[in-house]
Amino acid sequence: MYALIALPLLIVLMGLGLPVAWSFAGVLAYLTWVYDANLNTLMLQGFRSLNSLVLVALPLFILTGYLMQSGGIAQRIIAFVSRLATGRGGMGTAMVMSSSIFGAIAGTATAAIASIGSIMTEPLVARGYPRGRIAALLGISSLLGILIPPSITMILFAVVTRQSVAACFAATIGPAIILIIGLIAYNKFLVGRAFEEIDIPVENRESLGLVTLKALPALSLPLIILGGIYGGIFTPTEAAAVAAVAALIVGGLIYREFTWRSLQRSVIAAAETTGTIILILLFSFMISRILSFERVPQDLTEAVQSVVHGPVAALLLVNVVLIIAGALMDDVSVTVVIAPLFLPLMVANGVDPVHFAAIVACSVVIGANSPPVAPVLFLSCKITRVPILEAVMPALGLMTFVALPVMLLTTFWPDLSLTIPRLLDLM
């Protein structure tokens, strides 16, 4: 009974403006008090859970994202994709494809928004795209970094649910491909209907060969990272180290856009982001320990099973909960709170944990762009310099006609997320 207050309490604390990590600390303090838990024991167990080699990948992938942003890598990727994406809706296609390539290196949405949004917003405006639609498309497509491996969200899911990181990475590839196709098709459909795209001739434009040559070092990064992971050359943690070093070499020695100040800013920003996530993880491990000791996940599973009959109804219920939670909390909070809480329910209904990882990832795409919190959409509006109200309706359109169908397809077609892990012998 007391545990039911924990999630609303977390949402209230976050809504009051308390930092996410300290909101988790508030929930931990409440649960420790009502269940009379031993805080010393919880701290030891929490730190023991953090003593994981897998978690070393977190700061390295986060640092990679910031290094790409300041090292000129994102600019070369965008120039290459923009040169290829021609025809109706070409610039919108370029934004989606740039986000997917960026996500295949950095695994984070915020760095993609800052890098791609700052470069592509004005060219899109010049071609007739309304700023609200730009912000919406940027917000949705930036979250391809969560679906396309390597993904920080999937690392967190694997840690809190004790699953294979590589299997969770592979599970989201299928949904990511469907989402990319859907976003491109939907944008092409809108051109000429919701707005007119202006064709602007570009004089003295570099040839495709020259643009490709300049982009090759940047484009080689996802091939090295993913090829190394699935080729068995190195683990996801080692891949994170390779990604950070490769981004440093490409940005510093090939593109030569690093300065000591930009490098310092990247390292500091990565450290701040990592520190926040680690604090959230520490508190969430301690919270999970209390809930497990009090059998809250098992009681929740039994309660839901007594009301909801059959796996279809259970999956729909979890979908709704994930979307609502994602609309109120950030992706890290959803992953570390909701995933371990509902995993027993999913397993009881015959859902593979790796399949559930893909479901959680798809739900974040919708929740992170849904009011009232909508952290990704708010950041996207800030970068594109547009009021949030102008982006809400376009974002709802993208979520209704693209993101939600992808989530439902992922939920009720397990092979979409499980085929690649099985082919790669990861499960």
Q: What is the pLDDT of residue 405?
A: 94
Percentage of the chain with pLDDT > 70?
A: 95
Domain boundaries defined on the chain: 2-423
Residue 221 phi, psi dihedral angles, 5° rounding: -60, -50
Local confidence band at 3 (pLDDT 50, 70, 90 cut-offs): low
Asked if 65 and 108 count as a contact pair (C-beta separation under 8 A), the reply is: yes
Local confidence band at 354 (pLDDT 50, 70, 90 cut-offs): very high
391: pLDDT strictly greater than 80: yes
144: pLDDT strictly greater than 60: yes
Average pLDDT in the chain: 82
Per-residue pLDDT tens over the stretch 179-224: 999 999 999 888 877 777 776 655 446 677 788 888 888 888 888 8
CB-based burial of residue 350 (10 Å sphere; 0-12 exposed, 13-18 middle, 19+ buried)?
exposed
Of 71, 126, 49, the residue nearest 284 (C-alpha)? 49
Two structure tokens written together for 287:
């919270």
Q: What is the pLDDT of residue 171?
A: 92
- One-character DSSP codes across 298-357: HHHHHHHHHHS-SHHHHHHHHHHHHHHHHHHS-HHHHHHHHHHHHHHHHHHTT--HHHHH
Q: What is the pLDDT of residue 123?
A: 82
Local confidence band at 404 (pLDDT 50, 70, 90 cut-offs): very high
Asked if 257 and 71 count as a contact pair (C-beta separation under 8 A), the reply is: yes
> pTM higher than 0.85, yes or no?
no
- One-character DSSP codes across 261-294: HHHHHHHHHHHHHHHHHHHHHHHHHHHHHHHHHT
Two structure tokens written together for 321:
């909960």
Could you give the CA distance from residue 417 to residue 174 in angstroms, rounded to a whole number?
6
54: pLDDT strictly greater than 80: no
Q: Which residues contact 220 (CB under 8 A, 6 or more apart)?
A: 246
Choice among 218-227, 311-320, 391-400 with the minimum mean pLDDT: 218-227
Could you give the CA distance from residue 311 to residue 401 in angstroms, rounded to a whole number?
25
Asked if 67 and 247 count as a contact pair (C-beta separation under 8 A), the reply is: yes
3-state secondary structure of 195: strand
270: pLDDT strictly greater than 90: no
CB count in 10 Å sphere of residue 126: 11
Which uninterrupted H or E stretch holds 121? helix 118-126
3-state secondary structure of 191: strand
Local confidence band at 416 (pLDDT 50, 70, 90 cut-offs): very high
CB-based burial of residue 360 (10 Å sphere; 0-12 exposed, 13-18 middle, 19+ buried)?
buried
Q: What is the pLDDT of residue 267?
A: 87
Q: What is the pLDDT of residue 2?
A: 65
Which uninterrupted H or E stretch holds 251? none
CB-based burial of residue 38 (10 Å sphere; 0-12 exposed, 13-18 middle, 19+ buried)?
exposed
Q: What is the pLDDT of residue 201?
A: 57
Could you give the CA distance from residue 183 to residue 189 in angstroms, rounded to a whole number?
10
Residue 253 phi, psi dihedral angles, 5° rounding: -100, -30
CB count in 10 Å sphere of residue 413: 15
413: pLDDT strictly greater than 90: yes
